Structure 1
Amino acid sequence: MGKLIYVVEDDEDIRFIVEYVLRESDYEVEVFGTLTAYEAQPKDKTPDLVVIDVMLPDGNGLDLCKSIRANPALQHTNVVIMSAHASPAYVLEQACADDFISKPFDLDYFLSRIKKVLHDAV
């Protein structure tokens, strides 16, 4: 398996297709439908990348991004924010994310952005 990617996305359809596309590209993937589910997962692994939706039913993806950035154990973890409503400039500035993907998105575009973030981090 390749790099470990966590996906925090409340929309079941988006979560399913993102997980499928990433697994088909040889990434190890864990998905979470809520902020609570993400926070409850065991801390025995460190993801290479966390893909986060801005609007979650129980929290804000920008706040999650900030908490990842503030955690020394996750200092090498990349973050990509997804949103249908927020502006890229605002998200990248406020959350200090590595990239932004606007929804809806083309799957090839999505995958190219993920690969770029992971490649640039090497």
Structure 2
Amino acid sequence: MVKRIHVLEDDTDIRYIIEYLLKDEGYELQLSSSFEELKGKLKDSVPDLFILDVMLPDGDGAEICADLKGDLFTKHIPVIVMSANDQNKAKSLEAGADDYIKKPFDIDYIVTRIDKLIGKPVN
């Protein structure tokens, strides 16, 4: 079964790299550049994993993580928070993040972290 990942990242280049990388690994992707866009897409389908950037135009990834972990429909879904500022790590983990990745990230490392949380997709 194909696993779906929702990536909330406002930087177009980073979003493209993650999309290209994870599609190549067999994952299905949903992409958003704002929290408002993510909320709209959740009405259609719920992913197997969230990847959230911390610095967003309409929110903070750690706070969005806390919202997702506090919601009955999304609290069971693993969340990875990413940030270039390591000071966001403790805040993200306290908000319920299942993992934290520092930017810039190693491509193989991010795939390993995702596979650990939700397993490899079966094609």
Q: TM-score, normalised by structure 1?
A: 0.90
Distance 1:25 1:82 in 2: 19
How many matched pairs?
A: 118
- Counterpart-to-counterpart distance in 2, 1:58 and 1:90: 18
Of the two structures, which has the highest relative contact order with CA contacts closer than 8 Å and spacing of 6 or more? Answer: 2
Give me the whole-angstrom Cα distance separating, in 1, the residues matched to 2:6 and 2:96: 17
Task: Report the residue type matching 2:14 in the other structure.
Answer: I
Identity of aligned residues (%): 44
Unaligned runs of 5+ in 1: none
Would you tell me which structure has more helix in proportion to its own residues?
1
User: How much has 1:82 moved relative to structure 2?
Assistant: 0.2
Structure 2 portions without partners, runs of 5+ = none
TM superposition score normalised by structure 2: 0.89
1:97 is aligned to 97
Question: What's the offset of the Cα at 1:34?
Answer: 1.1
Q: Partner of 2:74 in structure 1?
A: 74
**Match status 1:16 vs 2:16:** yes
Alignment RMSD: 1.3
1: CA distance between counterparts of 2:103 and 2:33? 17
1:42, CA displacement in angstroms? 4.8
Number of the residue aligned with 2:64: 64
Give 4+ residue runs of structure 1 displaced > 3 Å after superposition.
Answer: none
After TM superposition, give the deviation of residue 22 of structure 1 in Å: 0.7
